[in-house]
C-alpha cells in the first residue's frame, strides 16, 4: 500500500466558484501564478484531481484530437475547492496509438482564469495518463516521472513535472483512479527560463551548446533511451536560453527507455540493439576528452541520483532496488576508461 500525502478533493456544483467554510468566494488575486503552478507548488505532496468528461468518446475518437467538454476540479492548499469548466482532447503520437488512455491537453477559458486572479497567458495543461489501469502501468508512469526528476540533476534547463492522483468521472460514475503526470508546456517553460524556442524543422548538432548536449546524450544512455534525435527534434526541444551562447537541448518523453520499460517499447530498427533495456550511445562526434569529462560529471552526481531513486517512495521497494541496480551498471562503465572510450567516443 503506497503511503501518499494527498491534498484531497471535494466536489460540489458545476459553477465556477470557490467554497471556503461553506461560503462562496472569489479566489484571491495572484496574477503572478498560473494554473500549472497552482497544481505543482506543493513539491512533497500529491495533488488529487478530478476530471469529468465523456471518457468513452475521448478514447474512441482519440486519433481525431477533437476538443470536448469537461470539468476539472481540485483542492487548493488553503482547503478551498477549485472547479473549472474546460475543453480537452487527446494529444501525442505513439503513446496515443498504443495506450487506452491517451495523453491529453486541457484548455481552460482565459476568462475563468482572470476571474480567479490567475495568469490567463498560460491556459493549457499537458497531462500524461497511465497507459491503462493496473499497477504495472502506474509504475511505468511513476518511473518516467522519476526520470524527469533525475534529469534535473543533470541540466539546469528542464521541463517541470508533477505527479497527481487523478479520478476520471463520466457523469455520476467514477471510471478510474490512477496516477497521472502534469508536464510544463513550451510557452510556460519559455517564460520561466526567459527562453525562445527554436522553430526550424531540422537542427544540426554543432549548433547546440556542447556541454549541455553531451550531458543530455549521456543521460539518455544512463536511462537506456534511444527514442530521441536532434536532426528532426524527436523528443528533444531546442531553446535559446540566457547564459548560453548556443541553443540548449531539453529532453522529454522517456516511456521508450529501458529505465521505464513499458510493455510497448521496442528499439527502432535503425539501432543495433534488440531490447530497450540494452544501452546504446546516440551522441555524435564525441571525443575521448569530452567523454572522460562528461563521465566525471556524472560520477559527481552519482550520490544525488541514487538518493533520489531511493527516496522516491511512490514506487515500492522492489521497483526502487531494480532501478538502482540498473543505474549502477551505468556508473560501473564510467569507472573504466576503456569502457568509456568504447561506449562514448564517436569521433575517431
Q: How far apart are CA 257 and CA 219, in angstroms?
A: 11
Mean pLDDT is highest, among 18-22, 169-173, 323-327, for 323-327
Which residue, 298, 304, 183, 278, is CA-closest to 226? Answer: 278
Looking at 15-29, 62-76, 155-169, which range is the least confident one?
Answer: 15-29
pLDDT digit string, tens, across residues 289-341: 999 999 999 999 999 999 999 999 999 999 999 999 999 999 999 999 999 99
pLDDT of residue 32: 78
pLDDT of residue 24: 33
pLDDT at 9 over 70: no
Bigger pLDDT: 10 or 262? 262
pLDDT of residue 15: 35
C-alpha dist (Å) from residue 328 to 7, 106, 300, 302, 308: 35, 38, 14, 9, 14
Q: How far apart are CA 212 and CA 42, in angstroms?
A: 28
pLDDT of residue 4: 42
pLDDT at 10 over 50: no
Query: Once rounded to an integer, what is the mean pLDDT over residues 149-162?
Result: 98
Give, for 211, the enclosing helix (H) or strand (E).
helix 210-222
Q: How far apart are CA 183 and CA 127, in angstroms?
A: 6
pLDDT at 17 over 50: no
Looking at 21-30, 70-79, 141-150, 163-172, which range is the least confident one?
Answer: 21-30
pLDDT of residue 30: 52
Query: Once rounded to an integer, what is the mean pLDDT over residues 112-121?
Result: 92
pLDDT at 112 over 60: yes
Strand partners, 24: 19
Query: Once rounded to an integer, what is the mean pLDDT over residues 278-287?
Result: 98
Burial class (CB in 10 A: 0-12, 13-18, 19+), 290: buried
pLDDT digit string, tens, across residues 180-219: 999 999 999 999 999 999 999 999 999 999 999 999 999 9
Residue 44's pLDDT band, with cuts at 50, 70 and 90, is low
pLDDT of residue 80: 82
Q: How far apart are CA 52 and CA 118, in angstroms?
A: 22
pLDDT of residue 27: 41
pTM of the predicted protein model? 0.91
Amino acid at each position: 500500500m503506497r503511503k501518499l500525502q494527498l491534498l484531497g478533493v471535494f466536489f460540489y456544483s458545476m459553477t465556477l466558484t470557490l467554497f471556503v467554510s461553506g461560503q462562496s468566494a472569489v479566489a484571491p488575486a495572484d496574477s503572478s501564478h498560473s494554473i500549472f503552478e497552482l497544481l505543482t507548488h506543493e513539491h512533497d505532496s500529491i495533488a488529487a484531481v478530478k476530471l469529468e468528461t465523456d471518457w468513452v468518446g475521448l478514447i474512441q475518437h482519440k486519433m481525431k484530437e477533437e476538443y470536448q467538454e469537461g470539468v476539472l476540479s481540485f483542492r487548493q492548499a488553503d482547503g478551498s475547492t477549485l472547479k473549472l469548466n474546460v475543453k480537452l482532447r487527446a494529444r501525442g503520437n505513439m503513446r496515443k496509438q498504443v495506450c487506452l488512455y491517451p495523453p491529453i491537453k486541457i484548455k481552460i477559458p482565459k476568462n475563468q482564469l482572470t476571474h480567479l486572479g490567475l495568469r490567463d497567458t498560460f491556459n493549457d495543461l499537458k497531462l500524461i495518463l497511465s497507459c491503462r489501469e493496473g499497477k504495472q502501468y502506474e509504475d511505468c508512469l511513476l518511473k518516467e516521472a522519476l526520470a524527469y526528476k533525475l534529469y534535473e540533476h543533470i541540466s539546469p534547463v528542464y521541463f517541470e513535472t508533477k505527479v497527481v492522483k487523478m479520478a476520471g468521472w463520466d457523469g455520476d460514475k467514477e471510471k478510474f483512479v490512477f496516477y497521472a503526470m502534469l508536464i510544463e508546456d513550451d510557452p510556460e517553460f519559455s517564460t520561466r527560463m526567459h527562453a525562445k524556442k527554436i522553430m526550424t524543422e531540422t537542427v544540426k548538432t554543432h549548433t547546440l551548446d556542447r556541454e549541455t548536449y553531451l550531458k543530455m546524450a549521456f543521460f539518455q544512455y544512463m536511462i537506456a533511451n534511444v527514442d530521441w534525435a536532434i536532426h528532426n527534434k524527436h523528443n528533444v526541444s531546442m531553446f535559446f536560453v540566457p547564459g548560453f551562447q548556443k541553443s540548449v537541448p531539453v529532453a522529454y518523453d522517456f516511456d521508450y527507455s529501458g529505465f521505464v520499460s513499458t510493455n510497448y517499447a521496442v528499439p527502432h530498427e535503425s539501432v543495433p540493439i534488440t531490447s530497450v533495456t540494452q544501452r546504446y550511445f546516440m551522441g555524435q562526434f564525441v571525443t575521448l576528452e569530452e567523454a572522460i569529462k562528461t563521465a566525471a560529471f556524472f560520477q559527481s552526481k552519482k550520490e544525488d541520483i541514487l538518493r533520489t531513486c531511493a527516496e522516491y517512495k511512490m514506487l515500492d521497494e522492489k521497483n526502487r532496488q531494480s532501478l538502482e541496480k540498473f543505474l549502477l551498471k551505468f556508473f560501473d562503465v564510467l569507472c573504466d576508461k576503456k569502457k568509456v572510450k568504447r561506449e562514448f567516443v564517436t569521433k575517431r
